[in-house]
Amino acid sequence: MTHRREVEQHRQTLGEIREIMNSMKTLAYMETRKLSRFLDAQRAAVAHIENVARDFLAYYPDVLAQPRRYEQVYLLFGSERGFCGDFNNSLLQALEAHLRRNNIRQPRLLVTGNKLCMHLQHDPRVSAFIDGINVAEDVENMLNEVIDALNQLQRKPVSLNVLYHVPEQEQVVVKQVLPPFEEYRHARPEYPYAPLLNLPPNNFLSELMHYYLFSALHEMAYLALMTENMRRLQHLEGAVKHMDEEATKLLCRSNALRQEEIIEEIEVILLSSTRRDHERNKKYR
């Protein structure tokens, strides 16, 4: 009886854990649906800004600052919560591979997400640990902290590279956002006349950079959060399936133990009945 109770308690505990995981899976799915709507608009905004920058710099390439020596800063979009597989480890592997490939020895790191921060809590390269995001509505506050951390680093020119996950790709993306638009320095004009501006070219580029940084970081944060939730959804689906299989095994084990208990009870009843019959026969001899 005691052993069967232990099996039943274990099965009940698994059922409670399964309900929690199933709720987490549902929340992750809801977040991916919400993010898919945000991402469509954000990607369109970033693509539009990049097209404007390409067109503008094809006619005004001299407004871009000349290449110089920058302090190398890396922003890593890690996860705030677990149950997302190798999400954070793959970021760290991509970072180290990028640093080796580009011979960068003393980078400064801005790290977001509690789980990733735990991996790097003793790393001297980290300049700021920043709270991560659980839902899309957290992105604004997180990016404000990122901008504050960048402002504290800008004692000299900064090159900011962002490492983040993209749902459509298996590998981590590394993208430079500061200084922006370097890939358009040698863009060729597509039209016979330069675009008409209401601002001086330098002022126009400054405003465009501001909007680009704001939009690009939002897009990257949304992509990272989307990937995190998709990984969590996949991970939890596997965990829930495994727990269902374990619960089925425990139910079969519990039923088998119950059958053994019933057989033992029947045997006790039969033995007791046999003993009474034997004693009754002895009495009437």
In this predicted model, what pLDDT tens digit does every residue of 78-136 receive, in sequence order? Answer: 999 888 889 999 999 999 999 999 999 889 999 999 999 999 999 999 999 999 999 99
Report the pLDDT value the prediction gives residue 264, as an integer from 0 to 100. 75
CB-CB contact of 149 with 128 (8 Å): yes
Residue 147 domain flag? yes
Residue 220 domain flag? yes
In this predicted model, what pLDDT tens digit does every residue of 229-261 receive, in sequence order? Answer: 999 988 888 887 877 778 778 777 777 777 777
Report the share of the chain in percent with pLDDT over 90.
Answer: 53
The CATH number of whichever domain residue 49 belongs to comes to: 3.40.1380.10
Residue 46 domain flag? yes
Average pLDDT score over the chain: 87
Task: Please tell me the total number of residues recorded for the chain in this structure.
Answer: 285
Structural domain count of the chain: 1
Q: Exposed, middle or buried: residue 115 (CB in 10 Å: 0-12, 13-18, 19+)?
A: middle
CB-CB contact of 227 with 165 (8 Å): yes
Q: Is 161 left (phi over 0), alpha (psi -120 to 50) or beta?
A: beta
Residue 265 domain flag? no
CB-CB contact of 7 with 254 (8 Å): yes
Residue 10 domain flag? no
Residue 267 domain flag? no
In this predicted model, what pLDDT tens digit does every residue of 146-169 receive, in sequence order? Answer: 999 998 886 778 899 999 999 988
Report the pLDDT value the prediction gives residue 157, as an integer from 0 to 100. 83
Residue 5 domain flag? no
Range of the domain at 183: 25-191+198-236
Residue 17 domain flag? no
Residue 280: pLDDT band (50, 70, 90) is low
